[in-house]
């Protein structure tokens, strides 16, 4: 499943540079994650890098974007063709 950034985001910019799919962008008040690009770092890393670096711990799974690990891997491969 894709990840989502919630209101506790401080817009510190720690997450954006570590995303291998460039799925994170600055929104109006907080950062956002494009679920069409988010693979939870499947295909690139062992765990989501944005979650590891987020000082506000505001990045969690997005319940509206449930995907299997296989689907996340396929998405990663399509993004990096």
Domains within the chain, CATH numbers bracketed: 3-79 (3.30.70.20)
Q: Strands (DSSP E) along the chain, which ranges?
A: 3-5, 24-26, 31-33, 59-61
**Torsion angle defined by CA atoms of residues 22, 28, 30 and 33, in that order, rounded to the nearest 10 degrees:** -30
Q: What is the pLDDT of residues 36-73, one digit of tens each?
A: 999 999 999 999 999 999 999 999 999 999 999 999 99
- Taking alpha carbons only, the member of 10, 20, 6, 8 closest to residue 50 is 20
Is this structure's pTM higher than 0.85?
Answer: yes
């Amino acid at each position: 499943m894709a990840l989502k950034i919630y209101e506790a985001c401080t817009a510190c910019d720690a997450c954006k540079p570590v995303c291998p799919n460039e799925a994170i962008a600055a929104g109006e008040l907080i950062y956002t994650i494009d679920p069409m690009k988010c693979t939870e770092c499947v295909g690139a890393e062992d765990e989501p890098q944005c979650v590891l670096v987020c000082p506000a711990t505001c990045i969690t799974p997005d319940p509206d974007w449930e995907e299997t690990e296989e689907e996340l891997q396929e998405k990663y491969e399509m993004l990096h063709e």
